[in-house]
């Protein structure tokens, strides 16, 4: 009788000791998805072969990837934001305008979901929304829009500035559209893409910003990218 009680007591202690470890393991697997050769994100844009000279004099062929060009624009607080803000962080980018009555409404809701999911990762993750109607979307208008849409200015920049510059960024920087244009009065871009950018300024994914399912995939891919910087991907066998 006594030994049976001791046995049950020891089993209970063992379960109590092991359960937190199991919970921690499962939580980490959910919070930080495994990065393997099967799910590493692609790199979009032109891949240019370049010759690199090693210290020993050998020359090897490496790859130069398309990266986001430099820019300098103004955010909803009237502060200048440059492309340097994107260095060293994972970013999501989209193109919108505050008076949009259609797709931008869903895009704002889904981007807010992304913002809220990564609200504790401001030092590692940022959002940049470029206005395609900068003449209307002044910093004051963007600030009002930010309040209406619960935009956290510490992690989400609404940007305005020179229209030709923004349209050049959309077409040749972030590659969101194949249409031609010069950013003039009759030129207009209306696109639903969310663009995922890594810490090196390379494009790593495109997502339908009006889709809840695509937004969930974006959130998962952001996690993969963040984890990849602290847990190198496994080499393909």
Domain ranges of the chain: 68-228
Q: pLDDT value at position 120?
A: 87
Helix, strand, coil percent values for the chain (each to nearest 5): 35, 20, 40
Q: What DSSP string runs through 135-191? A: TT--HHHHHHHHHHTT--TTTEEEEB--HHHHHHIIIIIS--------S-TT-----
Residuewise pLDDT in 10s, the chain (237 residues): 545 665 555 555 555 555 444 444 444 444 444 544 345 899 998 877 665 666 776 666 657 789 999 999 999 999 999 999 999 999 999 999 999 999 999 999 999 999 999 998 888 999 999 999 999 999 999 999 999 999 999 999 999 999 999 999 999 999 998 688 878 887 889 999 999 999 999 999 999 999 999 999 999 999 999 998 886 544 433
User: ∠ CA 72-75-80 to the nearest 5 degrees?
Assistant: 40
**Is the distance from CB of 189 to CB of 132 less than 8 angstroms?**
yes
What 215-219 contacts at long range (C-beta under 8 Å, 24+ apart), as own/partner pairs, is 215/110, 215/113, 215/114, 218/92, 218/114, 218/194, 219/113, 219/114, 219/117, 219/118
The CATH class that applies to domain 68-228 reads alpha beta
Q: pLDDT value at position 61?
A: 61
**Is the distance from CB of 72 to CB of 58 less than 8 angstroms?**
no
Tokens of 21: 């470890």
The alpha carbons of the chain give a radius of gyration, in whole angstroms, of: 23
Q: pLDDT value at position 237?
A: 36
Dihedral angle of Cα 124, 189, 77, 207, to the nearest 10 degrees = -20
Dihedral angle of Cα 177, 183, 186, 190, to the nearest 10 degrees = 30
Q: pLDDT value at position 36?
A: 46
pTM across the whole model: 0.78
Q: pLDDT value at position 183?
A: 85
């Amino acid at each position: 009788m006594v030994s049976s009680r001791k046995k049950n007591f020891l089993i209970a202690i063992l379960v109590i000791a092991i359960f937190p470890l199991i919970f921690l393991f499962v939580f980490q697997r959910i919070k930080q998805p495994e990065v393997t050769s099967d799910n590493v994100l692609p790199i979009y844009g032109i891949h240019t072969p370049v010759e690199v000279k090693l210290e020993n004099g050998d020359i090897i062929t490496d790859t130069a990837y398309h990266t986001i060009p430099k820019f300098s624009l103004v955010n909803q607080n009237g502060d200048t934001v440059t492309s340097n803000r994107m260095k060293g962080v994972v970013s999501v980018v989209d193109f919108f305008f505050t008076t949009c009555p259609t797709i931008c409404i869903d895009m704002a809701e889904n981007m807010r979901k992304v913002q809220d999911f990564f609200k504790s990762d401001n030092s590692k993750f940022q959002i940049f929304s470029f206005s395609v109607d900068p003449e209307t979307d002044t910093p004051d208008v963007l600030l009002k829009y930010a309040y209406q849409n619960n935009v956290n200015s510490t992690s989400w920049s609404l940007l305005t500035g020179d229209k030709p510059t923004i349209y050049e960024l959309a077409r040749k920087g972030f590659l969101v559209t194949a249409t031609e244009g010069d950013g003039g009065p009759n030129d207009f871009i209306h696109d639903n893409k969310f663009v995922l950018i890594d810490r090196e300024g390379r494009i790593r994914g495109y997502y339908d910003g009006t889709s809840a399912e695509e937004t969930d995939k974006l959130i998962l891919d952001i996690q993969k990218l963040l984890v990849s910087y602290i847990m190198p991907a496994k080499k393909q066998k």
